[in-house]
Chains A and B, each alone.
Chain A
Amino acid sequence: MYYNVFGEKVSRRRYKEMCEAAKNRRELIAAGLTSRRDLFRMGLLTAGGMLVAKSGLSARAQNIFQSPGAGGNPVNTNNPPSSGKTTSPGTNQNCVPSNQAASPHTNPFVTPLPILPIAATTALSTFSPQPTDAPNTASGTDGTEHRAFAHQGPTNYSGQFPHANALSKYYKFHQRQFTTTQMSPDLPAQTIWGFDDGTHGTISPGPTYQAHYGVPQLTRNINSLPNINQVNNTGFGFPSVTTHLHNGHTPSESDGNPCDFYPKGQFCDQYYPNVLAGFSTSPFAPTGDINESLATLWYHDHRVDFTAQNTYKGLVGFYCLFNNLDTGDEGTGFHLPSFPQFDIPLLFNDKVFDPDTGQLVFDLFNLDGILGDKFLVNGVIQPFFQVSPRRYRFRLLDTGPSRFYEFFLTGNVGGGGTPTTNPYFLIGTDGNLLPNPIQVNSVRIGPAERVEVIIDFSNFAGQTLYLENRLNQINGQGPVAVDSQLFPQNDPVNTECSVALAKTTPAVKPAGAGDLILQFQVTGPKVKDNSVNPATNPTFYTFPDTTATPRITRTFKFDRLNGQWSVNGQFMDCGIGPSGFSETFRFTVQQNSVEHWLLTNLTGDWTHPVHIHLEEHRILTRNRAAPTIPADTGRKDVTQLHPNERVQLFFRFRDWLHKYPIHCHNVVHEDHAMMALWHVEATGDNVLVP
């Protein structure tokens, strides 16, 4: 049997052609696109349909920011920049399949799901040099420090923060290259990058932090990757790092700013205060607002221009944060399933392997977004997980690079009758628990987003279920149809893609026809379940107030100008000054103020998962209407910005100062400059369109 990248059966001849194309892209290069004949020839070499795709078919080409043309027809926005327009065209490019041969065959569900180990602490006495509040000037066996400025200590908190050398928890994380066969027994050993906490060896995904509010901690992230000046990589990856704690209410010098990267032999002491937002000001001082509690964070490399390569190569991991309500013990607090036995972080990514060598490959020359045809959970392609017939809490994280998922719990696969769709409970979006569980049939997440769900296996004893991705996405720019209020989920078929591809193109595939990513074998022993039943509608937190009047409303246009990804027509600039660190910024937020940010997407059919550091947001409106999708109603640090959308966000910037980025978290777009740096200072500016 031979399959293409979409999992469709293809002939042996066709498969050979695709392998040939992947090996040498000679056909693609040779095809050119200079004549109709060439297009046709190219169509034969790709997954098909390319020849009939052309601009102008798309209903979505109409730009919501422009009024309709005469007679109510959409205005053609395919104006070239030379006509004086500065926005990119709307197209139906999301109907054009990426051209890529399938990875080698791997047998699914033969390897158990790895449970990522809990990060081990390291004795302070082993730190050399010892941590200091100001950037270290001394060197030691850990190397030399690269940090922008001293650990912040808000003035009214001088007794608490910082004391870099008087904390209760210290971690040393080395980023290292290692070789592993963990991904599949059917693939050769892979040389990738991971994290070494000193106890578990080098692993990818890295160890999971088990952090607690009120217990500040420090991680020394040490770059121990191969020497950057020697030929020693596998064809992608740049051994220069900066590790970001995604969703952390983290002081900026410890945030892992994309411009604060450093090579082998250097480290950064990253101080994670694990403190609730609002701790430094009335009315929530000194503890902070309990409703700002975070639960599911993650860490990853954020090296400017190289984040896609470096995270794809393995520099990702979980950071779970607990408090006296979300305790990790189902006998106390919210009574959520106990960590780590029944509270399982699941890290998803999709990758491609060379058909000839079986090696992990990354398209260095892609500007649009990258899809893989192998789906990994916690570092293994299509693992199985033996569960007991009881409730589990799962923390789902999409690390990209460019894939969106819509997860269903599918049963009765491969047996008689049709596969089933089984509802489960959504309890959290990104880092936060929702006020109450919401029963759903599916939930959609994009790159960098998380959701938390409760699945109750008690009625499935002895059965096999699957976590299935049914979302139809055929290239790196986003799903073929978006789950937005413009394109509701119950619109089952993408008409324009069906025309362009000459076959029915569902937005969401039928049950059992999607990607079966994780197999649940409900064959574990019957064990006691003291966790709360989400169907009883337990209450977690309440949402912080979002009615406060903003000090300013800023607008951010996410756009593409001649293939150059931009924010408000400008491109990423680290603004590095004589200090060796960023010194110029696009705008300044006033500390402890409220702002509204309007994110607008002018890029035709491209979807941008937009991430903002430091503070979370709530979605006030999506195209001027209140959010309706369950995952949109929670607190967020990434918002999916669909084609031709305008999303209004509420922010309250508190406590910490200085530099943070806003960027697209399709990491291929991010690496091509769809990012801007901004500042928080005592006095803010009034730049409306930064």
Chain B
Amino acid sequence: MPDVSRRKFLSLAATAPLAAGVLSTAAAGGETGRFAPVTQETARKRIQEQHLPNLPLITHEGKRVFFYDDLVKDKVVTLNFFFAKCDELCPLVTANLARVQKLLGDQVGRDIHMYSFTLKPEEDSVEVIRDYRRSFGAGPGWTFLTARPDDMEKIRRGIGFTYPDPAIDKDKTQHIGNVRYGNEPLMYWAACPGMAHAKFVAETLGWVIHPR
């Protein structure tokens, strides 16, 4: 029975080429010359251009940095948002990330860099984010950042932390509580909830620190 089916199948295959059969024509396609060539570097650049704008920010230490060049390029990172006066979600997520940092130990600052961005840069000055950071016991390698409001908004939109509905998107109490994580040079990007179990978040980050 299987033999019969297979024979029948092969006769059918003569009229409808297999996916594999089409492979041999890889160089064909008259119109395809109109497309720009792609390399791994252009793929990486595409991600940078669409999602990781190289905009200026100020760290909790008052240092001026650029989002892509200084924070993300060639690094493994976590990206999340908070604001100092947020009374429910942000403290939970920030406290959770503090647990994650402890679990990751000295990898933070060396193998992975954690960044938390204020959603309300107009309220959250360098002093405010410095105090906020200190109150959660954040260690080295975890940087809190503020920026010009327009630039911060572009960074938020770039990493996809938006709602489809503009009215909800504007409501900062409903802001996205996920943690974007990625290995920039290897182009591995994903996200996990900021309120997921800290042990599992640390495990998750391990996948892109030492990919497996």
Q: Which residues of A contact B (CB under 8 A)?
A: 23-26, 28-30, 32-34, 39, 42, 50-51, 53-56, 78, 80-82, 89, 91-93, 96, 98, 104, 111-118, 178-182, 185-189, 200-205, 210, 228-236, 238, 240, 262-263, 305-306, 328-329, 338-341, 354, 356-359, 361, 363-368, 378-380, 385-386, 475, 477, 561-566, 571-576, 671-673
CB distance A93 to B163 under 8 Å?
yes
Q: How far is the CA of A340 from the CA of B47 in the complex (A)?
A: 42
CB distance A574 to B203 under 8 Å?
yes
CB distance A80 to B173 under 8 Å?
yes
B200 at interface, CB cutoff 8 A: yes
Q: How far is the CA of A98 from the CA of B169 in the complex (A)?
A: 14
Q: Provide the residues of chain A in CB contact with B27, threshold 8 Å.
A: 189
B135 at interface, CB cutoff 8 A: no
Chain A residue nearest to B177 in the complex (CB): A562
Q: How far is the CA of A158 from the CA of B204 in the complex (A)?
A: 39
CB distance A93 to B153 under 8 Å?
no
Min C-beta distance of B189 to chain A, whole Å:
4
CB distance A564 to B19 under 8 Å?
no
Within 8 A of A (CB), among B101-149: 149
CB distance A672 to B178 under 8 Å?
yes
What is the size, in residues, of chain B's interface with A at 8 Å between Cβ atoms? 87
Given A82-B88, A358-B35, A576-B203, check contact A115 B196 (CB 8 Å): no
Q: Provide the residues of chain B in CB contact with A42, threshold 8 Å.
A: 166
The 3 closest A-B pairs by CB, nearest first: A365-B160, A563-B176, A562-B177
Q: How far is the CA of A159 from the CA of B49 in the complex (A)?
A: 61
CB distance B176 to A367 under 8 Å?
yes
Q: How far is the CA of A122 from the CA of B11 in the complex (A)?
A: 22
Q: Provide the residues of chain B in CB contact with A210, threshold 8 Å.
A: 2, 5
Chain B residue nearest to A564 in the complex (CB): B193
Q: How far is the CA of A673 from the CA of B194 in the complex (A)?
A: 11
Given A93-B165, A379-B19, A671-B190, check contact A181 B29 (CB 8 Å): yes
CB distance A115 to B20 under 8 Å?
no
Min C-beta distance of B35 to chain A, whole Å:
4
Q: How far is the CA of A262 from the CA of B212 in the complex (A)?
A: 7
Q: How far is the CA of A23 from the CA of B42 in the complex (A)?
A: 11
Q: Provide the residues of chain B in CB contact with A23, threshold 8 Å.
A: 46, 49-50
Q: Provide the residues of chain A in CB contact with B88, threshold 8 Å.
A: 81-82
CB distance B178 to A116 under 8 Å?
no
CB distance A182 to B35 under 8 Å?
no
Q: Provide the residues of chain B in CB contact with A89, threshold 8 Å.
A: 168, 174
Q: Provide the residues of chain B in CB contact with A574, threshold 8 Å.
A: 200, 203
Q: Provide the residues of chain B in CB contact with A573, threshold 8 Å.
A: 196-197, 199-200
CB distance A367 to B16 under 8 Å?
no
Given A33-B170, A186-B29, A365-B160, check contact A203 B20 (CB 8 Å): yes
B175 at interface, CB cutoff 8 A: yes
Chain A residue nearest to B50 in the complex (CB): A25
Partner of B22, one of A182, A340, A367: A182
Q: How far is the CA of A109 from the CA of B9 in the complex (A)?
A: 22
CB distance B165 to A571 under 8 Å?
no
Q: How far is the CA of A185 from the CA of B36 in the complex (A)?
A: 16
Q: 15 interchain pairs (CB within 8 A)? A: A25-B158, A51-B166, A54-B167, A80-B173, A114-B22, A180-B19, A181-B29, A181-B32, A189-B32, A235-B187, A339-B5, A356-B36, A359-B38, A359-B43, A573-B199
Given A561-B177, A564-B194, check contact A96 B187 (CB 8 Å): no
Q: Provide the residues of chain B in CB contact with A26, threshold 8 Å.
A: 49
Chain A residue nearest to B25 in the complex (CB): A181
Q: Provide the residues of chain A in CB contact with B188, threshold 8 Å.
A: 233, 238
Min C-beta distance of B32 to chain A, whole Å:
4
CB distance A50 to B16 under 8 Å?
no
CB distance A93 to B164 under 8 Å?
yes
Q: Provide the residues of chain A in CB contact with B8, threshold 8 Å.
A: 338, 340-341
CB distance A357 to B38 under 8 Å?
yes
Min C-beta distance of A524 to chain B, whole Å:
9
Q: How far is the CA of A378 from the CA of B36 in the complex (A)?
A: 27
Q: How far is the CA of A354 from the CA of B36 in the complex (A)?
A: 10
Most buried by A among B16, B170, B171, B199: B16
Partner of B174, one of A80, A235, A339, A385: A80
Min C-beta distance of B129 to chain A, whole Å:
20
Q: How far is the CA of A318 from the CA of B200 in the complex (A)?
A: 32
B63 at interface, CB cutoff 8 A: no
CB distance B174 to A263 under 8 Å?
no
CB distance A235 to B176 under 8 Å?
no
CB distance B86 to A235 under 8 Å?
no
Q: Provide the residues of chain A in CB contact with B203, threshold 8 Å.
A: 574, 576
